[in-house]
Structure 1
Amino acid sequence: MSYTPAQLDQYFERIKLPHDTRARLTAGNKDLEVLTSLVRHHVAGVPFENTVLHYTPQQYFELKPQGLYEKIVLRRQGGTCFQVVRILSEVLLSIGYTLYNSAARLNAAASISLATTGDPNRPVGAQFGDWQHMVLIVRVDGQDYLVDGGFGPNCPVQPIALRDGYEFVDGRLGRRGRLIYDNINKGRAHHLKYWRLQFQSMKSTAAPWMDVYAFKECEWLDTDYEAGARAVGTNKRVWFRFRVTAFQYVLEEGVPAGWVMLWHNMLIRFHGGKVLEKSFLESEEERIEVLADVFGIVLTDDHRKEIAGMFSALPPKKARPSKM
């Protein structure tokens, strides 16, 4: 079911879409510039986050368009990639873009769990796993583009043309990107090729290219995402169940120039290619405040209690000693 014009207006308010972009959409303009503005304000306005796994009793991944609208637009929360990319998909379809939904194999080294740790034991080279990420293939003026709507620090912040060797500068984030069409050196069918998204630091042209994910031009149906969401939500070996996280980009003049991320008990602010600040949270109460104040995710009193006893919980705030 498509979103109504009134729902689209509320979504545009949610992501603070500029009025000139809205005017162009109203006039029927759906060019690449408009799509780019939509994508950038979406990844800056809707946090990629997993609080549903830690602060709700059901731990349910909502995937239906109207349920996502209530969660993300009306309750002003974010969601996992299956949620934040899915609502972007429904918005674009409602506007009139031609697209289909697909999925990607993640490279372990590009995981959000390793993005800022500097772990010397992090995987080297491309080590692609299963299908864990949702992406969109959007057609504009006869050209297909990769569009992402939420993934963490390695989420592209603009539509990327599906052309082998296509290079681009990704906002003001201190990195360049490219798409290559090649095999993933895994499995038996090495002759089969994937689109591989890669990033390179702009500090040096000799810096290695890091694979982010690999995808194929293959449409995923609703049942595919339902199965994928169940797998991610119930897998006791993935970090999603052990770490609370929230992430969103920061715009300057409509262009992503940095990001802010909550990772368990750490708040990280990044700008222009480097980490500016890294602070540590000492209590569960402090983390709940950060979720609300930084990411706009307000938890009810009942939901706040759900994390008690879980591995992901932080200690409660220490009571100040009373004065005698």
Structure 2
Amino acid sequence: MFDLDSYLARIALPSRVTVDAEGLARLQRAHRLAIPFENLDVRLGRPIAIDSASVFAKLVGARRGGYCFEQNRLLLDVLAAHGFAARPLLARVWLRATDVPPTTHTFSLVHIDGQDWIADAGFGGSYSPPMPLVDGAEASGPDGARFRLARDVQHGWMLLRDGHPGNTDGRSAGEGWEPQYSFTTDRVWDADLAMGNHWTSTYEESRFRLANIVSIILPRGFATLTGRHYRRCVGQEVTEGTITDPRVYRMRMSLMFGIDLTADETATLFAE
């Protein structure tokens, strides 16, 4: 059985949220503030399991992070435990894309009081709050970025972002409305998620195979560690640099992202 109390302790929420739009927003934000986005197991040569038990054991029990297929599996289980009606969707990520990208991102469609909402606890590139699935709907993130949903003739729906590029994982081309990802509301099956997860974690040209990627949202900003390059953005203030010492790398992982690496894991990741 899903242990909701352990999850709530993991994300520092004192109690269940209300089963409404406000509760959904509160839950997703607490999740992203507490659980980092990361692909380190991919880089360490470990398989990525996305069944409920494995995801809970890693992200809650072992206090690790994960990428979208793990994060949003956990969120779906949390939503179900609260009594929300939700199901997974798949998306194409357009940031820095030069051609139509594959469906390598998953998030949730949540039905609340007759209205569909989208919720995403696992997009490592930035933070978008839950939004009603309505053409032209807009919302603002805690870092000041704006998000807009728009109908797309070819791809169904498009989520766009307008905000400081420092509050992203580096793929933003600059301020102004940028397409973040497109999606449809077609039914997604476990086999579809398994295929997307397999491609993302094993395809040699997947970005998750090419670099160590870690990020977490801050109350008013964003922090990332890509390879050895560290950047922290709060409001308009950006701090960044390159880590040259594996001891600092290990300490940064622990203090900023809450990821406690072993000495052997640190050596492997730092050498990449």
Q: Normalising to structure 1: TM-score of the pair? A: 0.76
Deviation at 1:275, TM superposition (A): 4.6
1:128/1:213 contact within 8 Å kept: no
1:45 aligned to 2:34? Answer: yes
Query: Where in structure 1 are there 5+ consecutive unaligned residues?
Result: 111-122, 185-192, 252-256, 315-324
Instruction: State how 1:160-171 maps to structure 2 within 5 Å.
Output: 160-171=131-142
Deviation per CA, 1:248-280, whole angstroms, max 9, x where unpaired? 1112xxxxx1111111111111112x3520021
Counterpart-to-counterpart distance in 1, 2:49 and 2:268:
18
Count the aligned residue pairs.
263
Tell me the residue number matched to 2:232: 269
Q: In the alignment, residue 248 of structure 2 is paired with which amino acid?
A: E
Tell me the residue number matched to 1:249: 217
Give the superposed CA RMSD: 2.1
Deviation at 1:170, TM superposition (A): 2.0
For residue 259 of structure 1, the aligned residue among 222, 226, 229 is 222
Counterpart-to-counterpart distance in 2, 1:244 and 1:83:
17
What secondary structure does 2:241 align onto?
strand
Instruction: State how 1:209-220 maps to structure 2 within 5 Å.
Output: 209-220=177-188
What secondary structure does 1:78 align onto?
coil
Tell me the residue number matched to 1:197: 159
1:139 aligned to 2:115? Answer: no
2:43/2:208 contact within 8 Å kept: no
For residue 231 of structure 1, the aligned residue among 199, 206, 225 is 199
For residue 297 of structure 1, the aligned residue among 247, 251, 259 is 259
What secondary structure does 1:93 align onto?
helix
2:124/2:215 contact within 8 Å kept: yes
Tell me the residue number matched to 1:36: 25
Counterpart-to-counterpart distance in 1, 2:37 and 2:245:
22
Counterpart-to-counterpart distance in 1, 2:152 and 2:267:
48
Q: Normalising to structure 2: TM-score of the pair? A: 0.90
Tell me the residue number matched to 2:170: none
For residue 153 of structure 1, the aligned residue among 125, 142, 148 is 125
For residue 10 of structure 1, the aligned residue among 6, 29, 32 is 6
1:197/1:213 contact within 8 Å kept: yes
Counterpart-to-counterpart distance in 2, 1:194 and 1:48:
27
1:182 aligned to 2:140? Answer: no
Deviation per CA, 1:123-169, whole angstroms, max 9, x where unpaired? 6xxx540100011000111100011012123331x211010111222
1:108/1:129 contact within 8 Å kept: no
1:105/1:131 contact within 8 Å kept: yes
1:153/1:259 contact within 8 Å kept: no
Counterpart-to-counterpart distance in 2, 1:16 and 1:69:
16
Q: In the alignment, residue 139 of structure 2 is paired with which amino acid?
A: F
Tell me the residue number matched to 1:81: 68
Sequence identity, in percent?
Answer: 28
1:102/1:137 contact within 8 Å kept: yes
Deviation at 1:42, TM superposition (A): 0.6
Deviation at 1:108, TM superposition (A): 3.4
1:180/1:197 contact within 8 Å kept: yes
Counterpart-to-counterpart distance in 1, 2:84 and 2:104:
25
Counterpart-to-counterpart distance in 2, 1:270 and 1:43:
16
2:246/2:267 contact within 8 Å kept: no
1:146/1:159 contact within 8 Å kept: yes
Deviation at 1:54, TM superposition (A): 2.1
Deviation at 1:306, TM superposition (A): 4.4
